[in-house]
Amino acid sequence: MDKEVELHMQNMATNSSRNFSNKVRASYNIWRLEIHHTNTDSTLRLMKDQIIMAKVYATIAHSQKQSDLYVLLMKCIKQSKAAIGDAHMDHELDSSALERAKAMGHALSSARDILYNSGEVSRRLRVMLQSTELNIDSVKKQNSFLVQHAAKTVPMPLHCLHMQLTTDYYFRDGVIKEYFRDASLKEEEDKAKREDKSLYHYAIFSDNVLAASVVVRSTVTHANEPEKHVFHVVTDRLNFAAMTMWFISHPPLPATVHVENIDNFKWLNSSYCSVLRQLESARIKEYYFKAHDPSSLSDGNENLKYRNPKYLSMLNHLRFYMPEIHPKLDKILFLDDDVVVQKDLTPLWEVDLKGMVNGAVETCKESFHRFDTYLNFSHPKISENFDPRACGWAFGMNMFDLKEWKKQNITGIYHYWQDLNEDRKLWKLGTLPPGLITFYNLTYPLNRTWHVLGLGYDPAVDLAEIENAAVVHYNGNYKPWLDLAVSKYKPYWSKYVDLDNSHIQHCYMSER
């Protein structure tokens, strides 16, 4: 910085602070040469800038044994901080703020007259800047770690709900026996429905009863012909009883729900499934579980989001095995369990996918949602086969043409690339990167109004887009069933929670 300019800035800073008045207090900033328009936080910003400058002069005064000046500056810093408190705007400042700012101005003027040396001041400011940047980086890492930890922690009310439903499943013999007796009598009818190509079929893979119930309820609520809608819900062994009990006691009539246990898919084993085989490796386990050690923060936060139990669950990868799960169907709509349906979805079955396998909403309106965001283009296998600027798309609401899927051997393509990525050199963990690869040049772009994303991480999603969307998606860490949720988005989800349910009342109201 030019010494004359820097000296001029210092003169303006101290002189303006010394002559601080109501007239200038709202328009002057200690670090600027020019006068700006009045802002609602001008005084606050001035005082914060004064504190920064006072800290610089205090360190110089201390090093030069100017004890009286050092004590004065430290006293002014303490008083200014107290006047600021937790204020974010000028009107929140303590009533003593103006006097504190004037006093600080006089102290800074004295410090400049006694101590000013442009080189020393610049050096001290650089040291402060570097220290602040390191602190900010550390706080960001801690924040990322804590958000990820909160996102993968099951809330107590949700755990309570699962336990209550599981208990009912195993101890309410009369209800369960009656249900399965009726189900046995209707087995042929239900099986026919589950395989009827003329009906509207949905695939939901979830271990979250409340989330799955909202997806089903919101879909049925907006369906023009709900009796023609069939929901295929797959869960794991741990949650099968709770999921089944929920839909026994709350059937979304006249729609049909069929709950399956992933453990009953005998074809899903490590000899056939690449991910299962890889999850058995010690390297993958070490990669996941070292994230629970606080020392993993030293590795940075770029991969923290992948160290989440959902990536260890095969439920997250079942989307690549649609024909194996539903061999009799020609089309199926995949819905993630963190979506809410706001319109009738049946027109999606009429969309001509033009020979493509996957109908999805593209996300490359923003430049960072292109292939080079998700894939490692420094690897020749990626750079030779894919376009880094190719448009990304979203999992969460996908129309799959299962006839084309079989014809194109999509699961085989998925296995090929998953095997190549055993050392995670092509992409990090997750399902979207292999999805982008597997369905490359096989994805038909749906109108963006079908699927609006970002409610689980972006507080600035256009509310008009949300209101007009057929499906809204809480992708990200701020799920609507967590305390982390963005409050203004939560009502779109919570209005489909059955608050009259005794289990929900017991588990959720007891937390209030």
Range with the largest mean pLDDT of 1-5, 389-393, 500-504: 389-393
pLDDT of residue 122: 73
pLDDT of residue 152: 55
For residue 78, pLDDT over 90 is answered with yes
**pLDDT tens by residue, 124-159:** 777 777 777 777 666 666 655 555 544 456 678 888
Mean pLDDT computed over 33-39 = 45
> pLDDT band at residue 28, thresholds of 50, 70 and 90?
very low
| Higher-scoring residue by pLDDT: 303, 268 | 268
For residue 94, pLDDT over 70 is answered with yes
Spans of all domains in the chain: 3-146, 156-509
- Residue 357 in 3-state DSSP? coil
Q: What's domain 156-509's architecture? A: Alpha-Beta Complex (3.90)
Burial class for 136, CB neighbours closer than 10 Å (0-12, 13-18, 19+): exposed
**pLDDT tens by residue, 383-422:** 999 999 999 999 999 999 999 999 999 999 999 999 999 8
Question: Which among 306, 387, 322 is positioned nearest to 359, based on CA atoms?
Answer: 322
Pairing of strands 339-341, 471-473: antiparallel
Mean pLDDT computed over 229-237 = 97
Diameter of the chain measured on Cα atoms: 96
| Higher-scoring residue by pLDDT: 237, 424 | 237
| Higher-scoring residue by pLDDT: 46, 296 | 46
- Stretch among 103-107, 146-150, 256-260 having the lowest mean pLDDT: 146-150
> How many degrees, rounded to 5, is the angle at CA 385 between CA 381 and CA 391?
120
- Residue 483 in 3-state DSSP? coil
Mean pLDDT computed over 80-109 = 90
Which two tokens mark 211? 């989330």
pLDDT of residue 299: 47
pLDDT of residue 392: 93
pLDDT above 90 coverage of the chain, percent: 53
Summary mean pLDDT of the chain: 83
How far apart are alpha carbons 182 and 82 in whole angstroms?
A: 71
Which two tokens mark 147? 């958000």
**pLDDT tens by residue, 475-487:** 988 999 988 889 9
Range with the largest mean pLDDT of 102-111, 196-205, 273-282: 196-205
- Stretch among 164-178, 243-257, 312-326, 443-457 having the lowest mean pLDDT: 164-178
Q: Are 375 and 340 in contact (CB under 8 A)?
A: no
| Higher-scoring residue by pLDDT: 128, 74 | 74
> How many degrees, rounded to 5, is the angle at CA 19 between CA 15 and CA 23?
125
pLDDT of residue 422: 85
Pairing of strands 358-361, 339-341: unpaired
pLDDT above 70 coverage of the chain, percent: 77
pLDDT of residue 151: 45
**pLDDT tens by residue, 299-320:** 444 454 545 555 667 899 999 9
pLDDT of residue 153: 64
| Higher-scoring residue by pLDDT: 344, 16 | 344
Describe the strand order of the beta sheet including 451-452 as a list of residue ranges.
339-341, 471-473, 451-452
- Distance spanning both ends of the chain, measured CA to CA: 57
pLDDT of residue 174: 63
**pLDDT tens by residue, 178-226:** 666 666 556 677 788 999 999 999 999 999 999 999 999 999 999 999 9
E runs forming strands in 50-209: 200-205
Which two tokens mark 423? 């050392």
Q: Are 127 and 43 in contact (CB under 8 A)?
A: no
How far apart are alpha carbons 474 and 481 in whole angstroms?
A: 10
For residue 27, pLDDT over 50 is answered with no
pLDDT of residue 180: 64
For residue 72, pLDDT over 50 is answered with yes
Which two tokens mark 229? 């809608």
For residue 25, pLDDT over 50 is answered with no
Q: Are 358 and 293 in contact (CB under 8 A)?
A: no
Calculate the CA 304 to chain-centre distance. Answer: 12
For residue 34, pLDDT over 80 is answered with no
